Amino acid sequence: MTSNAAPLSDFSSIYASMQGKNLTKEPYIINFNFNNEICVSEVLVQRTAPNKHNSNVAKIAISYTTNNGSYVLASDGEKLVLQSPDNDPTIQEQTLRCNIQGIQLTILNTTDQKPPYFVRVKVIGCYQPSKTIFI
């Protein structure tokens, strides 16, 4: 994971139910790259977690990349960008979206107009079997 919004971070605390990460520099973008292609059903910022601080993230947008690094395109040929509802940072796919190698998550809004804090991200889906063949 990388982000210019948190330049000195290792992001080990950004996963669901962890402490979360504070982002300091705009744009508030986090890039996820997976070792294998995945199928995605849901991407969300976890706003509350037991015994953890609440996050102020209100709205997100995501785009996907493929195994060759190109963006997934919409039917009109433009980069596919999905946005969550205004006060629910959750994007749910109607059907599994497969052949995804990376996700670019952009935080569009917070509940208090401050930089995003205690950001914890959940990506719900599954890995596809590897297509690598060793001879």
Q: For 72-117, how does the pLDDT look when each residue is reduced to its tens digit (9 = 90+)? A: 999 999 999 999 999 999 999 999 999 999 999 999 999 999 999 9
CA–CA separation, 83 vs 40, rounded Å?
Answer: 15
Could you tell me the end-to-end alpha-carbon distance of the chain, in angstroms, rounded to an integer?
Answer: 32
Structure confidence at residue 37 (pLDDT): 93
Report if residue 88 sits inside a domain: yes
Structure confidence at residue 70 (pLDDT): 97
Report if residue 92 sits inside a domain: yes
Report if residue 82 sits inside a domain: yes
Q: What pTM, to 2 d.p., does this model score?
A: 0.88
pLDDT tens profile 26-73 = 999 999 999 899 999 999 999 999 999 999 999 999 999 999 999 999
CA–CA separation, 53 vs 62, rounded Å?
Answer: 24
Can you spell out the DSSP letters for 66-96? Answer: -TTSPBPB-TTSSBP-EE--TT--EEEEEEE
Structure confidence at residue 30 (pLDDT): 94
Residue 74 sits at the vertex; the CA angle it makes with 105 and 40, to the nearest 5 degrees, is 50
Number of structural domains (the chain) is 1
Report if residue 23 sits inside a domain: no
Structure confidence at residue 18 (pLDDT): 87
Query: Residue 109 is part of which domain span?
Result: 29-127
- What Cα–Cα distance (Å) separates residue 20 from each residue in 76, 87, 89? 36, 19, 15
- Does position 129 have pLDDT exceeding 70, yes or no? no
| Cβ-based neighbours of 24, under 8 Å, separated by 6 or more | 5, 6, 7, 115
- Does position 8 have pLDDT exceeding 60, yes or no? no
Q: At 87, which CATH number?
A: 2.60.120.260
How would residue 134 be classed by pLDDT, with cut points 50, 70 and 90?
A: low
